Amino acid sequence: MRFQEFVYMFRSDVHRYVGRPTLPLVLKHFLITPGVKYSFYMRFCRYLRGKPFKAFGLFYIFRYLLSVVGIKYGISIPDTTNIGSGFYVGHYGGIVVNSATVIGKNCNISQGVTIGQSNRGEFIGSPVIGDNVFIGPGAKILGHVHIGDDVAIGANSVIVKDVPSHSVVGGVPGRVISNNGAAGYINHIDY
């Protein structure tokens, strides 16, 4: 990852919180918004990971800071996770994402969400999540399932099968209950 890509990714994340981010807004939200702070450390660690000699130890300092922020806010998303631009953590606490997960751009994750790997059965592996996806509080997405674009996953849903694009999913196990998609849940995507 180049530095310009890191800056773009972080700016797109902040944009999802505040709209057009100015430097004072970025600093304010870095200080008071857990999702912005976690996103910065996660993206910066990913940037430093590819540098020679891990940027002479700077990577390990920021990786430590990422783990401290993660413990403080209850967010466990490894810096190796492939996450697109415009990542938004609506509420912190109890968020766990497997490192092999692929998340598209403009994804909203709420508190209590688990996106995990399955080690057996038909869907061995980790989820692949499309663009403009809203994941409601307490939702669980397990195994190598494909979540399409513009999907809203309801609170406390358990997703163990593929979800088509433009769907609203709810229940245990999750099933399509509407074709309205995530319209209205995903804001500030004009970065």
- Can you give the three-state secondary structure of 70-103, one letter per residue? HHHHCEECCCCCEECCCCEECCCCCEEECCCCEE
* 3-state class (DSSP) for residue 190: coil
Q: Which of 75, 107, 126 is the last residue of a domain?
A: 75
Length of the chain: 191
Q: How many helices (H) and strands (E) does the chain have?
A: 5, 15
Q: Which domain holds residue 169?
A: 94-183
SS3 63: helix
Average pLDDT over residues 71-99: 95
Q: Which candidate, 81, 109, 77, places its Cα nearest to that of 96?
A: 77
Domain identity same for 65 and 142: no
C-alpha–C-alpha distance, residues 154 and 134, integer Å: 8
The pLDDT confidence band at residue 52, using thresholds 50, 70 and 90, is confident
Asked if residue 155 is part of any domain, the answer here is yes
DSSP code at position 132: S
Residue 190 domain flag: no
Answer whether 1's CB lies under 8 Å from 79's CB.
no
Residue 89 lies in a domain: no
Rounded to an integer, the average pLDDT of 158-175 is 95
Query: Is the pLDDT at 39 greater than 70, yes or no?
Result: yes
Model confidence, pTM = 0.90
**Structural domain includes residue 35:** yes
Residue 122 lies in a domain: yes
Q: How confident is the model at residue 55 (pLDDT cuts 50, 70, 90)?
A: low
* pLDDT of the residue at 123: 82
Q: Per the domain annotation, does 169 fall within a domain? A: yes
Asked if residue 82 is part of any domain, the answer here is: no
Q: Can you read off the two tokens belonging to residue 8? A: 């773009």
pLDDT greater than 80 at residue 12: yes
- Interval 69-90 mean pLDDT: 96
Q: Where are the beta strands (DSSP E) in the chain?
A: 75-76, 82-83, 88-89, 95-97, 102-103, 108-109, 114-116, 128-129, 134-135, 140-142, 146-147, 152-153, 158-159, 168-170, 175-178
- Please check whether residues 177 and 98 belong to one and the same domain: yes
Q: Is the pLDDT of residue 127 over 90?
A: yes
- Residues 169 and 166: their CA atoms lie apart, in Å, by 10
Give yes or no: residues 71 and 102 share one domain.
Answer: no
| Count of domains observed in the chain | 2
